């Protein structure tokens, strides 16, 4: 009997240990090593010719809030377009934009000098184009033009002359305009006229009279 009870006890212990073994979670597989992050590759800078080509095809954002008046559109008709030579071998290309009255202004062989400009009112009567977003201004005078960067406070291109301006500059060299400091020419004085008497004869300052068409008497 003691042996039989011992067998039953061992059997009960074995059966009790089976659920505990079933509930034991299986070991997780070892995590794979994370590969090291690749360093970002640095792009080589674009060549000057390639950068120029990219800038030329990149559209310039238009400011739809700008509304041109009839006077502004009339000024736009007087803007010289094309390739305009400047000093120091530079030049400025002015091309009409798709929007009426707007112009694309770009300096040759100079990066980040491409502007979308439109006419603005000028107090001096000169033709003035501005790109307010990029802080640039194109000033067209009778004998020359210049491109100024208001952000940098310098002239990007100067002494730019279209064929019409070159003709005007030559004319100003031959006939320079007078300075405001020069004295004015004296007004021309007309010769004095002899007063006429009541009988139609001319009277000279000496008091004698002379008939019209008569010759003075000689003694």
Question: pTM (2 decimals)?
Answer: 0.56
For 51, phi and psi rounded to 5 degrees?
A: -65, -40
Judge contact between 199 and 193, C-beta under 8 A.
Answer: no
- CA distances 73 to 17, 69, 76, 139, Å, are 97, 6, 5, 16
Q: What is the pLDDT of residues 70-123, one digit of tens each?
A: 999 999 999 999 999 999 999 999 999 999 999 999 998 788 789 999 999 888
Q: What pLDDT sits at residue 52? A: 46
pLDDT in tens, the chain (219 residues): 555 555 555 555 555 555 444 455 556 666 666 666 565 565 555 554 555 455 445 555 566 688 999 999 999 999 999 999 999 999 999 999 999 999 999 998 788 789 999 999 888 889 999 999 999 999 999 999 999 998 888 899 999 999 999 999 999 989 987 766 666 666 666 666 666 555 655 555 555 555 555 555 555
**Who's near 111: CB < 8 A, 6+ residues apart?**
48, 51, 52, 55
Q: Residue 177's pLDDT is what? A: 77
Residue 189 has a pLDDT of 66
What Å distances lie between residue 119 and 67, 85, 200, CA to CA?
Answer: 11, 21, 66
pLDDT of residue 2: 53
């Amino acid at each position: 009997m003691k042996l039989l009870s011992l067998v039953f006890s061992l059997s009960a212990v074995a059966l009790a240990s089976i659920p505990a073994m079933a509930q034991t979670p299986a070991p997780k597989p070892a995590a794979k090593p994370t590969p090291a992050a690749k360093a970002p590759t640095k792009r080589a800078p674009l060549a000057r010719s390639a950068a120029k080509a990219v800038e030329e095809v990149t559209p310039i954002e238009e400011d739809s809030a700008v509304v041109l008046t009839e006077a502004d559109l009339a000024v736009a008709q007087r803007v010289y377009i094309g390739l305009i030579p400047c000093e120091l071998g530079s030049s400025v290309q002015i091309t009409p934009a798709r929007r009426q009255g707007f112009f694309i202004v770009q300096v040759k062989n100079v990066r980040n000098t491409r502007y979308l400009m439109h006419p603005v009112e000028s107090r001096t009567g000169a033709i003035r184009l501005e790109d307010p977003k990029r802080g640039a201004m194109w000033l067209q005078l009778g004998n020359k033009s210049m491109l100024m960067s208001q952000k940098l406070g310098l002239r990007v291109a100067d002494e730019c002359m279209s064929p019409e301006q070159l003709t005007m500059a030559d004319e100003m060299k031959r006939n320079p305009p007078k300075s405001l400091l020069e004295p004015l020419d004296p007004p021309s004085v007309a010769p004095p006229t002899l007063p006429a008497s009541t009988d139609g004869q001319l009277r000279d300052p000496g008091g004698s009279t002379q008939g019209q068409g008569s010759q003075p008497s000689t003694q």
